[in-house]
Amino acid sequence: MLHDIMPGTEEILNKGMASGYIGFDPTADSLHVGHLTQIMTLIHFQRAGHKPFALVGGATGMVGDPSGKSQERNLLSENVLQHNLQSVQKQLENFLDFNTSANSAQMVNNYDWFKNFTFLDFIRDVGKHLTVNYMMAKDSVKKRLEGDTGMSFTEFTYQLVQGYDFYYLWKNQNCILQMGGSDQWGNIVTGTELVRRKGKGEAFALTTQLIKKADGTKFGKTESGAVWLDAKRTSPYQFYQFWLNTSDMDAKSYIRIFTLFDKETIEAIEAEQDAAPHLRTIQKALAKDITIRVHGEAEFLKAIKSTEFFFGSIGIEFLSELNNEEIITLFSGVPNFTIEKADLDAGLTATELLAGKTSVFPSKSEAKKIMQGGGASINRDKINTPDDVITSDKLINNKYLVAQKGKKNYFLIVAE
């Protein structure tokens, strides 16, 4: 996981319990899998006997993206920001131990120390210690790579704010280490420099590698967007499927980063995978571990059943265990059709249902041909003839029908 570490960091950590922090932007009311690397960093930090601080950027969240380039970090109102803060804090509490002994995790919000900090105070107490020339030189390589040789006043101030966060936690919480992704190195060393110049002290930096897929694409993104930790944004089934569908090469990397399995366990899982690659042992172990830690064992078991449902290994009765939202989510990746419930109350022939009221089949002639060959079903019951009558008695949860064309082509019919 490690990318870079400031000289002296390892030595100071080996001396005894130390305090360190990682910052999280409250740009949404949920964290996503892209945050998991830093969450895992804090978990390892605490397991090693150190005290982790999770800084939620209430003040910096009000700034948005200082470069103005990101649509994901827009300026937030105070009400939205407070909602996001509470949600993110609740999620972090699922991973870190906030009720242990001396090294209990602690949540901090930089809004608490910036809300009464005037602009003049900021320039006097912070700005004078880090010159524009220093900030430009520190950032020049990154800027040149991006084809931009300048730094806006907002970006300059934003880095000073992040640097002051480190200084504040160093001074008030004895926080000697800031951790983050490798793209945060510049912001972190701004803090260590402020500690040195303003506080006449010493602070340290540690960064992790940015996680990418083996094919070079961004980790944590799917065709439908980010994979969130909140079940309302990404269902436990979708979350489980994200990890289950990981490539073999990525899975070998991710199981080392995102689980707490020891070396021997991981190597044993890999040996099973090498012996029978088609069983996808690594992906299953990875998906199980992360899904349980994020959503709990009950939701993991439901995700397993959902997966097995599409493979036909469990019956249609499983759907009665799900609520309406879960059924819609489960079938979000397959064609959905809506019909009038009154039509089903009166009864519809299979042909009219699947090729008239819906387009499960493109034409009634094709529907009849497939049905006569035994290739169509409703709620896993094979349709015997094109004239079989389907009524509302077959509705699941008084609302749904599951149609199949062959074994693998699923369709959800919603009666309203």
Domain containing 142 — which CATH number? 3.40.50.620
Q: What is the CA 328 to chain-centroid distance, rounded?
A: 21
Is residue 63 pLDDT above 70, yes or no?
no
Residue that wins the pLDDT comparison between 378 and 310: 378
Confidence of residue 2 (pLDDT cuts 50, 70, 90): very high
Structural domain includes residue 331: no
Residues 356 and 382: their CA atoms lie apart, in Å, by 19
pLDDT tens-place string over residues 330-382:
888 789 999 999 999 999 999 999 999 999 999 999 999 999 999 999 999 99
360 shares a domain with 229: no
Is it the case that residue 45 has pLDDT exceeding 90?
yes
Identify the band that residue 75 occupies on the pLDDT scale cut at 50, 70 and 90: low
> Greater confidence, 62 or 365?
365
Indicate if 186 and 307 belong to the same structural domain. Answer: no
The arithmetic mean of pLDDT across residues 128-135, rounded, is 56
pLDDT band per the 50, 70, 90 thresholds, residue 313 = confident
**In this structure, how many other beta carbons lie within 10 angstroms of the beta carbon of residue 164?**
25
Residues 6+ apart with CB under 8 A from 5: 204, 205, 206, 207
pLDDT for position 338? 95
Question: Locate tokens 């910096």: which residue?
Answer: 60
Both 259 and 389 in one domain: the answer is: no
Question: Per-residue pLDDT for 293 more than 60?
Answer: yes
pLDDT in tens, 214-223: 887 778 777 6
State whether 177 and 87 are in the same domain: yes
Residue 37 has pLDDT above 90, yes or no: yes
Is the pLDDT reported for residue 8 higher than 90? yes
Same structural domain for residues 164 and 134? yes
The reported pLDDT for the residue numbered 144 is: 45
Q: Is residue 327 part of a domain?
A: no
Is residue 153's pLDDT more than 70?
Answer: no
Domain endpoint, select from 208, 232, 253: 208
Determine contact, residues 13/50, Cβ cutoff 8 Å.
yes
Q: What is the pLDDT of residue 44?
A: 96
Same domain, 189 and 245: no
Write down the pLDDT at residue 394: 95
Based on the fold, state whether residues 353 and 395 are members of the same structural domain: yes
Q: Measure the CA–CA gap between 337 and 401, rounded to whole angstroms.
A: 10
Give me the mean pLDDT over the 310-325 stretch. 88
Q: Looking up tokens 């210690």, which residue turns up?
A: 129
Please give the Cα distance from 127 to 335 (Å, whole number): 57
Whether 135 is covered by a domain: the verdict is yes
pLDDT digits (tens, 9 = 90+) for 173-195: 999 999 999 988 888 998 998 89
213 in a domain, yes or no?
A: no
Which residues carry out catalysis? 27, 32, 35, 69, 73, 162, 183, 218, 221-222
Q: Are 389 and 315 in contact (CB under 8 A)?
A: no
Whether residues 80 and 170 share a domain: the answer is yes
- Give yes or no: residues 360 and 393 share one domain: yes
The string of pLDDT tens digits covering residues 236-268 is 998 999 999 999 999 999 999 999 999 999 999
Q: Strand 2-5 relative to strand 204-208: parallel, antiparallel, unpaired?
A: antiparallel
By C-alpha distance, which of 373, 381, 372 is closest to 403? 381
- State how far the Cα of 143 lies from the Cα of 163, in Å rounded to an integer: 19
Structural contact between residues 27 and 84, judged by C-beta atoms closer than 8 angstroms: yes
Domain span at residue 349 reads: 336-415
Give the pair of three-digit tokens for residue 104. Answer: 């209990």
What Å distances lie between residue 319 and 290, 306, 328, 390, CA to CA?
Answer: 24, 9, 11, 19
> Quick one: 44 and 192 in the same domain?
yes
Question: What is the distance between the alpha carbons of residues 56 and 76, in angstroms, rounded to a whole number?
Answer: 14
The pLDDT value recorded for residue 161 is 76
Rounded to 5 degrees, φ, ψ at 260 are -110, 20
Is the per-residue pLDDT at 410 higher than 70?
yes
Residue 216 lies in a domain: no
Per-residue pLDDT at 149 exceeds 60:
no
Pairing of strands 51-56, 106-109: parallel
Domain with 374 in it: what CATH number? 3.10.290.10
**Last residue within a domain, chosen from 186, 208, 230:** 208
Rounded Cα gap, residues 203 and 79, in angstroms:
34
Q: Is residue 121 pLDDT above 50, yes or no?
A: yes
CATH code assigned at 296: 1.10.240.10
Instruction: Characterise 198 by phi-psi region: left (phi > 0), alpha (psi -120 to 50), beta (else).
Output: alpha
SS3 77: coil
Q: Considering its fold, how many domains does the chain have in total?
A: 3
**Of the residues 175, 208, 241, the one at which a domain ends:** 208
Q: Which of helix, strand or coil describes residue 322?
A: coil
Q: Which residues, other chains included, contact 92 with Cβ-Cβ below 8 Å and sequence gap of 6+? A: 24, 31, 39, 54, 105, 107
Q: How many residues does the chain have?
A: 416
φ and ψ of 98, to 5 deg: -95, 5
DSSP state of 217: P
Residue 228 has pLDDT above 70, yes or no: yes
List the structure tokens of 226. 């980010």
Buried b (16+ CB within 10 A) or exposed e, 198-214: beeeebbbbbbeebebe
State yes or no: pLDDT of 141 exceeds 50: no
Same domain flag for 131 and 231: no
Greater confidence, 117 or 196?
Answer: 196
Q: Which two tokens stand for residue 151?
A: 């730094």
Contact 187, 163 (CB under 8 A): yes
Average pLDDT, the chain: 87
Q: What is the DSSP string of 396-408?
A: BTTTEEEEEETTT
Exposure of 203 in the CB half-sphere (CA atoms within 13 A): 33
In a domain, 145, yes or no: yes
Task: For residues 108 and 177, state if they share a domain.
Answer: yes
d(CA 27, CA 73) in angstroms, rounded, equals 6
Is 151 a residue whose pLDDT tops 60? no
Please state the rounded mean pLDDT for residues 321-336: 88
HEC readout, 10-75: HHHHHCCCCEEEEEECCCCCCCEHHHHHHHHHHHHHHHCCCEEEEEECHHHHCCCCCCCCCCCCCC
**326 belongs to a structural domain:** no
In a domain, 347, yes or no: yes
Percent of the chain with pLDDT over 70: 87
Task: Please give the distance of CA 231 from its chain centroid, rounded to a whole number.
Answer: 10
